[in-house]
Amino acid sequence: MLRLIYAGLFTLVTLPSIANAEIYKWKDGNVWRYSDLPPKGQAYEPLKAKKPGNGTVVDAAKPDAKKPMDGEGKTAEQKQSERKVREKACAMAKENLQKLKTSGIVYKENTQGEREYLDEAGMKAETTAAEKEVAATCK
């Protein structure tokens, strides 16, 4: 469960940087290739930013002048979005802790996908880790 939480948080954190990445296009034989890194020793073409519905080109480096920014450079929408992500992570951490405390038998999957059932010491360690996760995410 913690892996799922960490994977979700990692995706949410890295997705905006991936979305704003420069994309390059080049022809390799008869195949068009696309990448976020330009090819070495070949001619390439950087792809332009897509136009939104109003016909203006979006420049990720320039903040939108119409949206008020706070002292940290974040809009109210960005703050609200981040708050929702934190609330969801907190709820998931609390749910994980509750399951650990109320479930009789708990298992984790190893790297081969096999179940490894936790003994009393393992349950105590997982519960302690889950309590720390709740404390960290539910500030």
Which has the closest alpha carbon to 26: 11, 16, 36? 36
pLDDT mean over 55-83: 66
The model's pTM: 0.44
Residues 91 and 37 in one domain: no
- Whether 32 is in a domain gets the answer yes
At 6-45, the pLDDT tens digits run 777 677 666 655 556 678 888 888 888 888 888 888 888 8
Which has the closest alpha carbon to 134: 105, 81, 98, 84? 98
Residues 77 and 114 in one domain: yes
pLDDT for 52 equals 55
Domain enclosing residue 37, as ranges = 23-62
pLDDT for 6 equals 74
- Whether 3 is in a domain gets the answer no
In this predicted structure, the answer to whether residue 65 has a pLDDT above a threshold of 60 is: no
The pLDDT mean for the chain works out to 78
